[in-house]
Chains A and B, each alone.
Chain A
């Protein structure tokens, strides 16, 4: 009969050999983990600190209200932030409806067929395409083929396409999170599918959708590479929109890219809206009054002062969509690539503004997501 060999001195509470070392390794790993995390967080702090040290003293109301200039001390970001806002308005107007509708389609409507999988594969792949490739698309398709020019419209649509996957994926996740019961209840009382979707599913999914949209918009604001390709100008000393009191320059007739009249003998009947001056092609000046109608040769420039009505009218998208532009990140890039220290200070200040906006938006998105998780319990 076999007996179980036991060691009478074995103490089951005794620690196996080497346990102290293993425990020490276990504990000390926490230090490594915390250290790695702190390097990440420290980077963020160093980034902000560096920009503050270099550029905070340049932040003044004047910095926001002046155009870029070859004189670094008096250069500002007026055209850059106005350009950024206009481009982002275009981006949002394009990407939000298209992205949300596409996300809703894929979750609620899409049949299971090869076409749907093709769309899904396309969305997944677009999310991984480097941003500069979107710039190539914009140059080749929008600027070259469709003749949209190097304009705010081109920039807005390009960035819109860039953030489309972000909006689509966020919408899908949010819509998927709405319980099936909600849909069934709506359909049971006779709602059509679109009524159930638009009255019930989308409103419940909205916070999640908004989170995705904010992250997408924040990415579009900071994006530089594709806009460099479509020729976001680095030196823009005008605004696509006017303010009351601004000088307005209206060039008469067909002129070439240097402002010279293409057909020097042609004239055009022009109605003058405000008091001002007309500069003739030979640079002689003629004073004009509001309401006057005069025959002007091509190449003449009407210089008047904008009133409130002009300023409001200039905000119509038809006025600024085709305009040249610059945006904050391009302005910052331009200043960063100059050797003079004074311009680098401007770059740091522009970077601070940019960082503030993007961190604020990202923070808002994170907060929204956090609240969403806390509040809604289906």
Chain B
């Protein structure tokens, strides 16, 4: 019996040494994601902190002029925020109706074959480089808009916003369509059996049932629009002013960061730190949107 020492205790988990190494390497790769998040927060917050050591947070929030490159600098984030909100508003007023129409059409009306073709082609829209969209907004759409709206400046948030809206149609359409298709067929069947038309079923049964997923999709699209840089930097003009109409030119938070970066920035100066303060505002905005979108989508997943 002594010679046959095959009695291994199979309840004890044994691993070859190499397996531990591999698992460690895999873990490190995954943990890099945390490191990147920490890195982003560290860099943005530490540089922004130096900015706020010189410029009071109160002034940052309340002043209405953003002129960090002037002789007498003023650091009110408001003009950049109004620019961002205006371009986002325009983008959403294009993308939400169109995106939802496409989503309802594809999910409730179109045949499987139409859906198979249209969805991927629409997704190509999301793959177009944003610098190309910027060119398109500045040199194709703006001249067209100028023929409708006399006095429209060559740089304006309207054109940038519309093109941004076209860009995020696929996000909103695709995610909303997923949400609506996740609604159980029995709900549709029940509604149709009561004698409703497909349209009535779509609007009164499917749409409300998928609403949290749809809102999540819209917020995700909104987050894209807020963070978009090149389109607004090219076609929106880079003049930071309080924007009250989309036909004005204006700078967004992202366009300002790009504009400063294009000039010669000396590291450690207040101008350099100001782009991190602007970046922090942007980061907070998008993280809030992403969090809401994520929570919304989770709710819709749990519904059925």
Specify the chain A residue showing the minimal Cβ separation from B120.
A366
Most chain A C-beta atoms within 10 Å of own C-beta, residue among B25, B31, B127: B127
Q: Choose the segment among B4-12, B60-68, B69-77, B227-235 that binds chain A (4+ C-beta atoms closer than 8 Å).
A: B227-235
Q: Does A54 sit within 8 A of B, measured CB to CB?
A: yes
Specify the chain A residue showing the minimal Cβ separation from B101.
A36
5 pairs across A/B with beta carbons < 8 Å? A29-B202, A130-B228, A140-B276, A332-B131, A363-B124
Residues of A within 8 A of B (CB): 16, 22-23, 25-26, 29-30, 32-37, 39-41, 43-44, 46-47, 50-51, 54, 97-99, 101-102, 104-106, 109-110, 118-119, 122-126, 128-137, 139-141, 144, 161, 164-165, 168, 192-194, 215, 218-219, 221-225, 228-229, 231, 329, 332-333, 336-337, 344, 347-348, 351, 354-355, 358-359, 361-363, 366, 370
Are B125 and A125 interface neighbours, CB within 8 A? no
Q: A33-B110, A122-B37, A128-B220 are in contact. Are A101 and B25 (CB under 8 A)?
A: yes
Are B131 and A224 interface neighbours, CB within 8 A? yes
With A and B bound together, what is the CA distance between A132 and B259 in angstroms?
A: 12
Interface residues of B in 133-171 (CB under 8 A from A): 133-136, 138-140, 166, 169-170
Residues of A within 8 A of B30 (CB): 101-102, 105-106, 110, 119, 168
Q: A101-B26, A128-B223 are in contact. Are A22 and B36 (CB under 8 A)?
A: no
With A and B bound together, what is the CA distance between A125 and B125 in angstroms?
A: 23
Residues of B within 8 A of A34 (CB): 105
Interface residues of B in 1-49 (CB under 8 A from A): 15-16, 18-19, 22-23, 25-27, 29-34, 36-37, 39-40, 42-44, 46-47
Are A128 and B132 interface neighbours, CB within 8 A? no
Are B104 and A33 interface neighbours, CB within 8 A? yes
Q: Does B55 sit within 8 A of A, measured CB to CB?
A: no
Residues of A within 8 A of B197 (CB): 22-23, 25-26
Interface residues of B in 79-102 (CB under 8 A from A): 97-99, 101-102
Specify the chain B residue showing the minimal Cβ separation from A143.
B267
B81 to chain A, nearest CB (A): 15
Residues of B within 8 A of A161 (CB): 36
Q: Does B199 sit within 8 A of A, measured CB to CB?
A: yes
Specify the chain B residue showing the minimal Cβ separation from A39.
B98
Are A354 and B129 interface neighbours, CB within 8 A? yes
Are A25 and B199 interface neighbours, CB within 8 A? yes
Are B131 and A44 interface neighbours, CB within 8 A? no
Q: A29-B199, A192-B19 are in contact. Are A358 and B129 (CB under 8 A)?
A: yes
Are A40 and B220 interface neighbours, CB within 8 A? no
Are B127 and A359 interface neighbours, CB within 8 A? yes
Per a CB cutoff under 8 Å, which of A29, A110, A122, A362 touches B124?
Answer: A362
Residues of B within 8 A of A224 (CB): 129-131, 229-230
Are A40 and B125 interface neighbours, CB within 8 A? yes
Are A41 and B29 interface neighbours, CB within 8 A? no
With A and B bound together, what is the CA distance between A44 and B118 in angstroms?
A: 12
Are A355 and B43 interface neighbours, CB within 8 A? no
Sort A-B residue pairs by CB-CB distance and give the 7 closest, nearest first. Answer: A33-B105, A130-B227, A222-B129, A140-B43, A36-B101, A105-B26, A101-B29
Are A140 and B47 interface neighbours, CB within 8 A? yes
Most chain A C-beta atoms within 10 Å of own C-beta, residue among B23, B33, B136, B283: B33
With A and B bound together, what is the CA distance between A224 and B42 in angstroms?
A: 23
Q: A22-B200, A136-B43 are in contact. Are A102 and B98 (CB under 8 A)?
A: no
Are B234 and A333 interface neighbours, CB within 8 A? yes
14 additional contacts, CB 8 Å, given A36-B99, A140-B47? A26-B197, A44-B125, A46-B136, A130-B227, A133-B282, A136-B43, A136-B44, A136-B279, A192-B16, A222-B132, A225-B230, A231-B261, A332-B135, A359-B127
Q: Does B176 sit within 8 A of A, measured CB to CB?
A: no
Per a CB cutoff under 8 Å, which of B36, B133, B279 touches A126?
Answer: B36
Q: Choose the segment among B204-212, B241-249, B286-294 that binds chain A (4+ C-beta atoms closer than 8 Å).
A: B286-294
Per a CB cutoff under 8 Å, which of B31, B34, B229 touches A132?
Answer: B229
Residues of A within 8 A of B233 (CB): 225
Specify the chain B residue showing the minimal Cβ separation from A194.
B22
With A and B bound together, what is the CA distance between A110 and B282 in angstroms?
A: 32
Interface residues of B in 243-287 (CB under 8 A from A): 254, 257-258, 261-262, 267, 275-276, 279, 282-283, 286-287
Are B105 and A30 interface neighbours, CB within 8 A? yes
Are B33 and A44 interface neighbours, CB within 8 A? no
Residues of A within 8 A of B234 (CB): 333, 336-337
Are B128 and A359 interface neighbours, CB within 8 A? yes
Are A129 and B109 interface neighbours, CB within 8 A? no
Q: Does B181 sit within 8 A of A, measured CB to CB?
A: no
A147 to chain B, nearest CB (A): 12
Q: A40-B170, A136-B275 are in contact. Are A33 and B101 (CB under 8 A)?
A: yes
With A and B bound together, what is the CA distance between A172 and B226 in angstroms?
A: 28
B135 to chain A, nearest CB (A): 5
Are A128 and B230 interface neighbours, CB within 8 A? no
With A and B bound together, what is the CA distance between A192 and B37 in angstroms?
A: 33
Specify the chain B residue showing the minimal Cβ separation from A330.
B131
Are B220 and A144 interface neighbours, CB within 8 A? no
Are A137 and B135 interface neighbours, CB within 8 A? no
Are A137 and B124 interface neighbours, CB within 8 A? no
Specify the chain A residue showing the minimal Cβ separation from B260.
A229
With A and B bound together, what is the CA distance between A104 and B26 in angstroms?
A: 7
Q: Does B121 sit within 8 A of A, measured CB to CB?
A: yes
Per a CB cutoff under 8 Å, which of B29, B34, B227, B290 touches A118?
Answer: B34
With A and B bound together, what is the CA distance between A140 and B47 in angstroms?
A: 8
Are B132 and A47 interface neighbours, CB within 8 A? yes
Are B34 and A122 interface neighbours, CB within 8 A? yes
Q: A164-B32, A359-B124 are in contact. Are A50 and B105 (CB under 8 A)?
A: no
Residues of A within 8 A of B102 (CB): 33, 36-37, 40
Q: A333-B134, A348-B135 are in contact. Are A132 and B227 (CB under 8 A)?
A: yes
A246 to chain B, nearest CB (A): 29
Residues of B within 8 A of A137 (CB): 36, 39-40, 43-44
Residues of B within 8 A of A168 (CB): 30, 33
With A and B bound together, what is the CA distance between A39 and B162 in angstroms?
A: 12
Are A144 and B121 interface neighbours, CB within 8 A? no
